[in-house]
Amino acid sequence: MKTLQHPIVLQDSVQRTSIIRRFFDWAGAQQKNRIAWLAVMLMGHACVLTPLTLFFIMYSGNNLALWPFAMVAMVLVLITNLSAQPTKITIPVFFLSILLDVIIIVDCIINLAKPA
């Protein structure tokens, strides 16, 4: 009588990395472009996004509670870049500050859409 043989299937376990891990790896690899990121962060945020956010705050009724949040978003980018942090720190902080400014702008637009 023949012995029954079961084939053994070896499965390679696929290591899946999360999107957050891939983002931090990418941000760390951007160290060679650090000066370009510095320019984009300071010029884009300080000269475009923060004044735009402050314009929406003032145009929607000048809610004084939103001013500190807009300033903190700008200061976060400024401090991390002036302290010469690596790009794996500055890029996520930059995107976090952009998210904060976008939330403020959306809140102001919602307040503008409310009937008086």
CA–CA dist 74, 20 (Å, integer): 23
Alpha carbons 110 and 88: distance in angstroms, whole number: 34
Question: Is the pLDDT reported for residue 96 higher than 90?
Answer: yes
Return the number of other C-beta atoms located less than 10 Å from residue 62's C-beta: 11
Inter-axis angle of helices 67-82 and 87-113, nearest 10: 170
| Sequence ranges of the domains in the chain | 41-113
Q: Is the confidence at residue 9, as pLDDT, over 60?
A: yes
Quick one: CA torsion of 41, 45, 46, 47, rounded to 10 degrees? 110
Higher per-residue pLDDT: 62 or 7: 62
Contact (CB, 8 A) for 57 and 106: no
Cβ-proximal residues to 76 (8 Å cutoff; 6+ apart), any chain: 93, 96, 97
Check pLDDT > 90 for residue 75: yes
Q: Please give the average per-residue pLDDT across 70-77, as a whole number.
A: 93
Q: Check residue 16 and give its pLDDT.
A: 78
Which token pair is 20? Answer: 């957050």
